[in-house]
A and B are shown apart, each in its own frame.
Chain A
Amino acid sequence: GAVVSQHPSRVICKSGTSVKIECRSLDFQATTMFWYRQFPKQSLMLMATSNEGSKATYEQGVEKDKFLINHASLTLSTLTVTSAHPEDSSFYICSARTGGTDTQYFGPGTRLTVL
């Protein structure tokens, strides 16, 4: 149980294009999902908290107009990187929380490369 999927796993795009990343909880409902970004040899940095049916909460320094988050259902959250630039190249990981111990389970991540 507690499986989280992400799609796509890898994407290469040209500068200026937009990229959508999907995060799905496959066998549980997740009212809250989190989006993280990880640069090489760095820790995971929280970008935003995504709540089903409401606006996402962004961390300081994260541009909400650039990183659009939609959490339309209890099993799906999407992150859209708009007008991507090379500095947005990173490993994007989502997580979804379960009840009980409130553990966060991570998706397999999406490696974004912007040329």
Chain B
Amino acid sequence: GQNIDQPTEMTATEGAIVQINCTYQTSGFNGLFWYQQHAGEAPTFLSYNVLDGLEEKGRFSSFLSRSKGYSYLLLKELQMKDSASYLCAVRPNQAGTALIFGKGTTLSVSS
């Protein structure tokens, strides 16, 4: 079966750094995506990893280890607007096929 695990909830304070972990067991692997979703809205794309290592994009970084079936999303200099759900998604098959989503991690940022 396909399984993607991530913590249900996390809390942090403004200005801090938070790491959201994601582990996956899927039939195949052809890329891992992180999305941000605010309540009642559609997900917005944050990052994409297909090779091992760290991808940095401003305050957001994403890491992948394919051998461990593991990824994390790192958020630096947290802001209140970063309070949202963060979805880890894996594409198990070839390009053009659907993603499998984890249940999401709800991050609450307080002042």
- Chain A contacts to B: CB under 8 angstroms: 6, 31-32, 34, 42-46, 49, 91, 93, 97, 101-109, 111
Number of A-B contacts (CB under 8 A): 50
Q: Which residues of B contact A43 (CB under 8 A)?
A: 87, 101-104
Given that A103-B45, A105-B45 are known contacts, is A49 also in contact with B33, CB under 8 Å in the complex? no
Binds A, one of B17-25, B35-43, B60-68: B35-43
Report chain B residues within 8 Å CB of A104. Answer: 33, 45, 99
Q: Are A103 and B96 in contact (CB under 8 A)?
A: no
**Which one, A101, A102, A107, contacts B42 given CB within 8 A?**
A107
In the complex, what residues of A have CB within 8 A of residue B44's CB? 106
Partner among A34, A101, A107, A108 whose Cβ is within 8 Å of the Cβ of B48 = A101
Chain A interface main SS type: strand
> What is the size category of the interface that chain B forms with chain A?
20 to 34
**How far in angstroms is the closest Cβ of chain B from A40?**
10
Q: Indicate the member of B41, B98, B102 with the most A CB atoms within 10 Å.
A: B98
Partner of A42, one of B35, B40, B103: B103
Closest approach, in angstroms, between the C-beta of A38 and any C-beta of chain B? 9
Cβ–Cβ < 8 Å partners of A105 in chain B: 45
Cα of A17 to Cα of B107 in the assembled complex, Å: 38
CB distance from A94 to the nearest CB of B (A): 9
User: Across the interface, do A102 and B96 meet the contact criterion of CB distance under 8 Å?
Assistant: yes
Q: List 19 A-B contacts (CB under 8 A).
A: A6-B42, A31-B96, A42-B103, A43-B87, A43-B103, A44-B87, A44-B101, A45-B101, A46-B99, A46-B100, A49-B97, A93-B43, A101-B31, A102-B91, A103-B48, A105-B45, A106-B43, A109-B40, A109-B41
For the complex formed, measure the closest distance between the CB of A101 and the CB atoms of chain B, giving whole angstroms: 5
- The closest CB in chain A to the CB of B95 belongs to A102
